[in-house]
């Protein structure tokens, strides 16, 4: 990948949002206790609990998304359980086997525009328990969803509620990967709030790395964390000594609605981008209401664009076409979208 003037290759190709960085700078000289016991981590957790309208929640700060997925799935599943996910889910495809490394199978269901469908899920779990040999199979113990999904699509409140209902019915936990949650919350087309998520899920994380932080994800257990959770985080090599690094950043992100502000700018830019691409007749691979847009280009055209456009390869559509991803972020400059118009 080559980085050019017009950069849409990802939402983690820059540093931190200036207000996040500023908070790191202004707190740098202070001395704090380690391993997340510092005042900034506590303050950030309080603000997150308030934003989730869930005072009983336990909040932890981890460094990255795959790490958070691995730790949550390992600690919420029993040894004989696996995690159900869309076959396009991040844990199904792009975590190098991190979930299996922890001993658990990913039970993949065919995705529906990137989503797990509640009816599919119920059918799968019913068939599992109806199978006379299910004692020899991996029990479905959790459902993993990403919101936005890997295709930028979203769950509606009704869809989330339906999934939570199936989970309750069969004793499964519901876990939401919110690596780009800011863009979901800010989408023009969502009816799902942070409070809804906290009410419906057993665990979820609010992504920082891809939403304005240098690093870090805020993991929320609305009904409380597993016993000895910090020890298990340590055991996974995931406990940060200077925990304030993430606490300070989330303290900034959840002050004066910065997290939503970041999400909104990216969404505004994505809508402009969609308008330009539509105007130019570029076909979309999937309809996405969030900051990631997937379009299909002829390979020859892509070759011509490469020098001036930063994008991410997604997959081959066919021998002559490629699916690419264009992503916006807090750092996207509206001028770049105008320049993109000229490129196409």
Interactions with a copy of itself, residue window 121-160 (CB under 8 A): 127, 130-133, 135-139
Q: How far apart are CA 309 and CA 316, in angstroms?
A: 18
CB atoms within 10 A of CB 43: 16
Near a copy of itself by CB under 8 A, which window of 14-22, 45-53, 148-156, 161-169? 14-22
Q: Which of 142, 145, 206, 239 binds a copy of itself (CB under 8 A)?
A: 239
Contact status: 79 vs a copy of itself (CB under 8 A): yes
Q: Indicate the residue among 56 and 230 with the shorter CB distance to a copy of itself.
A: 230
Q: Toward a copy of itself, which CB reaches closer, 14 or 261?
A: 14
Beta carbon of residue 233, minimum distance to a copy of itself (angstroms, whole number) = 8
Which run of H or E residues covers position 275?
helix 258-279
Q: How many other CB atoms sit within 10 Å of the CB of residue 31?
A: 6
Residue 317 as a binder of a copy of itself (CB under 8 A): the answer is no
Q: How far is CA 269 from CA 55, 127, 333, in A?
A: 34, 44, 8
Residue 106 CB, nearest approach to a copy of itself (Å): 8
Burial class (CB in 10 A: 0-12, 13-18, 19+), 28: exposed
CB 36 within 8 A of CB 343: no
By CB under 8 A, tell whether 80 contacts a copy of itself: yes
Q: Which is nearer to a copy of itself, 67 or 190 (CB)?
A: 67
Phi-psi domain of 113 (left: phi exceeds 0; alpha: psi -120 through 50; beta: other): left
Cα–Cα distance measured from residue 185 to residue 193, given in angstroms and rounded to the nearest whole number = 6
Q: How far is the CB of 151 from a copy of itself (least distance, A)?
A: 15
Whole-number Å distance between alpha carbons of 44 and 207: 14
How many residues touch a copy of itself under the rule CB under 8 A: the total is: 84
Binding segment for a copy of itself among 10-18, 42-50, 156-164, 271-279 (CB under 8 A)?
Answer: 10-18
Q: Assess 70 for contact with a copy of itself (CB under 8 A).
A: yes
| 335 is a site residue for a copy of itself (CB under 8 A) | no
């Amino acid at each position: 990948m080559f980085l050019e003037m017009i950069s849409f290759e990802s939402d983690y190709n820059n540093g931190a949002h200036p207000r996040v960085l500023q908070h790191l700078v202004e707190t740098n000289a202070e001395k704090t206790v380690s391993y997340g016991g510092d005042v900034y981590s506590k303050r950030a957790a309080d603000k997150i609990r308030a934003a989730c309208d869930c005072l009983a929640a336990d909040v932890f700060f981890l460094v990255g998304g795959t790490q958070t997925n691995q730790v949550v799935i390992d600690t919420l599943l029993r040894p004989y359980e696996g995690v159900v996910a869309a076959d396009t889910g991040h844990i199904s495809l792009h975590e190098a086997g991190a979930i299996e490394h922890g001993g658990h199978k990913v039970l993949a269901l065919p995705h529906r525009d990137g989503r797990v469908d509640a009816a599919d899920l119920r059918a799968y779990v019913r068939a599992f328990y109806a199978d006379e040999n299910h004692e020899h199979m991996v029990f479905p113990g959790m459902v993993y969803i990403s919101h936005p999904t890997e295709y930028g699509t979203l769950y509606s409140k009704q869809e989330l509620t339906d999934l939570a209902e199936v989970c309750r019915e069969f004793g499964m936990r519901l876990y939401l990967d919110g690596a780009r949650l800011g863009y979901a919350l800010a989408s023009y087309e969502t009816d799902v709030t942070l409070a809804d998520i906290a009410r419906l899920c057993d665990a979820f994380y609010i992504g920082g790395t891809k939403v304005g932080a240098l690093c870090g994800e805020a993991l929320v257990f609305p009904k409380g964390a597993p016993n000895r959770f910090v020890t298990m985080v340590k055991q996974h090599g995931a406990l940060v000594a200077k925990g304030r690094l993430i606490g300070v950043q989330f303290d900034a992100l959840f002050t004066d609605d910065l997290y939503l502000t970041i999400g909104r700018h990216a969404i505004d830019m994505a809508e402009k981008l969609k308008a330009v691409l539509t105007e130019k007749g570029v076909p979309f691979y999937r309809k996405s209401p969030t900051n990631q847009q997937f379009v299909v280009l002829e390979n020859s055209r892509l070759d011509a664009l490469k020098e001036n456009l930063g994008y991410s390869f997604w997959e081959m559509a066919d021998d002559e076409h490629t699916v690419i991803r264009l992503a916006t972020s807090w750092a996207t400059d509206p001028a770049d979208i105008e320049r993109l118009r000229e490129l196409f």
